[in-house]
DNA sequence: CGGACCTTTGAAGACATTCAAGGCCTGTGG
DNA sequence: CCACAGGCCTTGAATGTCTTCAAAGGTCCG
């Protein structure tokens, strides 16, 4: 078994050196936190199994979900700028992680340029993901937002060699709504609508995508008449 | 005059080495592009004077503004992950930039760890900024979005030792709306509303903030009755 | 079984968008 | 120098989408 939990793209020899940095943690229970907003930044984390939600609390005390992370994905970069995590990260289900102490990673990067480059790429991937979310939030209807999220999760699971049509949503409707800038009720209604249109089969947190093309079309142009 | 166009926070000796990398470009005309979406990633840029808008074109061909950049701010990081710029960047007015070739920066980072660390911080600042925008887009009303943007621009100008209450918006109402996920009309109406409430004095692209506290309160909690 | 929490559904209402029209400013050409 | 065309911005009215408020049904876990 390949125990490394980082995305690939590095020489095997360098990979070995990277691997020794990584600490495997004992699994987290649902709702258990990885780090809290404001804590000193120490490490970045990779999801081995399970899923993570990250969120911040804004001026008026409301929670704002900023990301969901699935196996193979990294989180924790938000702490780098201020040396303190901006978000809180919690497990949505039983979740196991790899911890990568940033200082060690940084040291390794200083001696091996290719590792340095690699880390940079990982960070800037987070930028790209965030910008995609910005575009989604700014320009789209509730249906488009939800369709995008479902397709995004589907794509991300494919990369882990899991089914691309049957997915398990570890987060609540409320958390989805919060993430997408919608209310719980709207999320529920849109899922109901998609189900009636036979785009999805929804069974609580279990979703089967029946018509991927229809969802994709929806994103490109707002829905036509009923 | 301090010719460096990067935010401070580095030893003078290292700063000198950084400075030699920087290429000062001849000023850009309004609407002139810095780079186009899809072009190979070569450099990051710092705004010396003027302002920059970055945007991408999404699936259905619509423009989505992803950022505005003012003097002292850096842009172009979005190209790092794929080695191609994801966004197009154009000048909103006559603008002069510093170009920082990424390869040279990377090489310097490899020999001077403190520079490396510094670059990392710069990148992760972009992440934090993006996540703030996400929170803004997801959770807030038109009034809150616009109030946030104006206060954000005000704060950023203060850092450049410019007036914090009198500002010049180099972008059109449409570009503001696009950025915030609103229509032109809504932006115009909200600005009108703020003016009637004496929060602002608006004269075309010239804005004077009359009641910063009111705007801040607005962000914390949605507006009370008229 | 009971209670807490999450989800669904309905009805009413609010907010932002859409469609439409008019005003203002700028730059160009007569 | 004025007239006019084309942007961009503003304003109004109607529409629509999403939210809010309310209630009820499910599900999970003690």
Over residues A97-133, the pLDDT tens digits come to 999 999 999 889 888 888 888 888 889 999 999 999 9
- DSSP string spanning chain B? -----S-S-S-HHHHHHHHTT-EEPPPBPTT-EEE-TTSBP-EEEEEEES-EEEEEE-TTS-EEEEEEE-TT-EE-GGGTTTTB-SSEEEESSSBEEEEEEHHHHHHHHHH-HHHHHHHHHHHHHHHHHHHHHHHHHHH--HHHHHHHHHHHHHHHHHHTT--SSEEE--S-HHHHHHHHT--HHHHHHHHHHHHHTTSEEEETTEEEES-HHHHHHHHHS-----
A196/B contact by beta carbon, under 8 A: no
- Identity of the residue in B66, B86, B125 whose CB atom sits nearest the CB atom of A81: B125
Q: pLDDT at residue B14 above 90?
A: no
Quote the CA–CA distance of B126 and A81 in Å, as a whole number: 9
Class of domain B139-220: mainly alpha
Quote the CA–CA distance of B106 and B110 in Å, as a whole number: 6
* Spatial distance from the CA of A26 to the C1' of D9 (Å): 59
CATH 2.60.120.10 boundaries in chain B: 2-135
Over residues B97-110, the pLDDT tens digits come to 999 999 999 888 88
* Spatial distance from the CA of A75 to the C1' of D15 (Å): 43
Our CA-based measurement puts residue B89 at a distance from the nearest CA of chain A, in whole angstroms, of 14
pLDDT at res. B226:
40
- Using a pLDDT cut of 90, give the percent of chain B over it: 69
Average pLDDT in chain B = 90
- Which of these, A189, A167, A139, A146, lies nearest to A70 by C-alpha position? A167
Our CA-based measurement puts residue B151 at a distance from the nearest CA of chain A, in whole angstroms, of 14
- Identity of the residue in A64, A77, A139 whose CB atom sits nearest the CB atom of B124: A77
* Spatial distance from the CA of A191 to the C1' of C11 (Å): 20
CATH 1.10.10.10 boundaries in chain B: 139-220
> Chain D: nucleotides under 7 Å from a protein CB?
8-13, 17-22, 27-28
Q: Number of residue pairs across A and B with CB atoms under 8 Å?
A: 134
Intra-chain end-to-end CA distance of chain A, in Å:
50
- Identity of the residue in A56, A127, A138 whose CB atom sits nearest the CB atom of B180: A138
pLDDT at res. B55:
96
Mutate to test the interface with A, among B53, B61, B128, B217 (most CBs of A within 10 A): B128
Tokens of A70: 């699935």
pLDDT at res. A225:
45
A120/B contact by beta carbon, under 8 A: yes
Q: Which CATH number fits domain B2-135: 2.60.120.10, 3.90.1530.10, 3.40.50.970, 2.130.10.10?
A: 2.60.120.10
Which of the two residues, A184 and B121, has the higher pLDDT score?
A: A184
Low-confidence ranges of chain A (pLDDT < 50): 1-2, 225-226
- The chain B residue lying nearest A116, using CA atoms, is B110
Our CA-based measurement puts residue B49 at a distance from the nearest CA of chain A, in whole angstroms, of 24
Report yes or no on whether pTM surpasses 0.85. Answer: yes
Over residues B150-168, the pLDDT tens digits come to 999 999 987 776 788 999 9
Our CA-based measurement puts residue B181 at a distance from the nearest CA of chain A, in whole angstroms, of 4
**Residue A155 backbone phi and psi in degrees, to 5:** -60, -40
pLDDT at res. B1:
41
pLDDT at res. B23:
85
Are A133 and B135 an interchain contact pair (Cβ–Cβ within 8 Å)?
no
């Amino acid at each position: 078994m390949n125990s490394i939990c980082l995305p690939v793209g590095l020489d095997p020899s360098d990979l070995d050196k990277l691997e020794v940095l990584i600490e495997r943690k004992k699994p987290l229970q649902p709702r258990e936190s990885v780090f809290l907003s404001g804590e000193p930044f120490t490490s970045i984390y990779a999801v081995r199994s399970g899923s993570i939600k990250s969120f911040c609390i804004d001026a008026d005390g409301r929670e704002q979900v900023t990301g969901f992370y699935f196996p193979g994905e990294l989180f924790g970069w938000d702490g780098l700028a201020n040396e303190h995590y901006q978000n809180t990260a919690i497990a949505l289900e039983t979740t196991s992680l790899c911890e990568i102490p940033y200082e060690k990673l940084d040291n390794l990067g200083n001696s091996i340029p290719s590792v340095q480059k690699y880390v940079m790429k990982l960070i800037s991937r987070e930028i790209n993901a965030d910008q995609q979310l910005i575009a989604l939030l700014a320009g789209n209807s509730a249906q488009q937002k939800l369709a995008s999220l479902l397709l995004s999760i589907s794509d991300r699971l494919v990369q882990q060699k899991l089914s691309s049509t049957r997915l398990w949503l570890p987060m609540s409707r409320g958390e989805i709504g919060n993430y997408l800038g919608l209310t719980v009720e709207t999320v529920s209604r849109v899922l109901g609508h998609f189900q009636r249109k036979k785009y999805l089969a929804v069974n609580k947190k279990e979703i089967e995508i029946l018509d991927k093309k229809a969802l994709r079309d929806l994103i490109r142009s707002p829905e036509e008449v009923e």
